[in-house]
Amino acid sequence: MEQELRTGGGGNLRAAQNSSNDVTLAQQAMWVLNNIASSQGDPSQRLTSWLLRALVARACRLCGPTGTIQAAAGAPAPRERAMSVTELAEYIDLTQWHRFCFTASNSTILRAVAGSAVHIIDLSSWIRHVTPGFRDTFLDIVRTLNPCLVTVTGEDADLDSPSLATRIAGCFDFHWILFDALDTSAPRDSPWRVEHEAAVGRKIESVVRDDDADGAERVESGARLAEQMRRNGFASVGLDEDAAAEVRRLLSEHATGWGVKREEDMLVLTWKGHDASVENRRHAGRHVPNTTHQNSHRV
């Protein structure tokens, strides 16, 4: 299924992108995906159906709605609503993203400041939410605080590329994880499952429909964010084996299919071998002489 998406629809998508005024090629790409997609199929088929919806939204924006395009859109998606506390707990149990990020970050911070008074500033995911054009300024502001340690966690996906084909491939590679994980925990007609998949579908539409993020958050790869932090004077510290072992123990107790691996100086959460989230640890002191990795350095 994934190969069909890449070689069938993907090839036409790249051609349509290179000839942006050729509506016929765009329609061909959508119909290739339409033959693959199924809202009630396996994870790849269901995800492809949301990618198709996103392409329909893009086509309507660029060309205006037509009967052919609207026919491919299917039924309206469920409306978005806030999760209850119980639903949030179930979501945390399902994905393990939150446990991984909090455990890795907290373990790293505790070891770095052991025996010392500490003031922790929680910027949550501000580094991810700030658009790339303003991120350098934001990182400069963080450095003026002269922190002894900065931990960064986030989704590991390439969704901010100027290339439409790259963004579509990034959506498929990353969001497939949740669709596949849902297959192990909820029946396909579960309202809870339908709502989660619809929420992902809305994210996909925002990435595929518009080439310009226009201030909206778009996830980028952990490697690219790490490189930007290096350029802004944040030297890599690396996470020690104790932190990695604690995360592995947590995952072994709570989840099947989830794992953790090292990638350069980052810890990466995986689902059946697919990268999901990254944890990165950096030193931002003004005495750091350069922006290269310093694996042996410990705060």
Burial of residue 89 (number of CB atoms within 10 Å: 0-12, 13-18, 19+)? exposed
Query: What pLDDT is attached to residue 252?
Result: 86
User: Can you give the pLDDT at residue 283?
Assistant: 59
pLDDT of 213 reads: 65
> Is 29 within 8 Å of 12 (Cβ atoms)?
yes
Q: Token pair 């998949």 is at which residue?
A: 197
| pLDDT for position 42 | 92
| Backbone phi, psi, residue 270, to 5° | -125, 150
pTM of the model: 0.77
Profile the chain (299 residues) by mean pLDDT over runs of 10 residues. 48 43 63 85 92 86 61 60 82 84 85 80 73 82 87 84 87 92 84 88 89 70 85 82 86 83 84 80 44 26
DSSP 76: P
d(CA 65, CA 55): 12
Percent helix, strand, coil in the chain, to 5, is 55, 10, 35
The reported pLDDT for the residue numbered 66 is: 57
Q: Are 214 and 206 in contact (CB under 8 A)?
A: no
Question: According to the model, what pLDDT value does residue 82 have?
Answer: 79
Residues 164 and 49: their CA atoms lie apart, in Å, by 17
Give the per-residue pLDDT at 175. Answer: 92
Angle, in degrees to the nearest 10, between helices 43-63 and 23-36 = 160
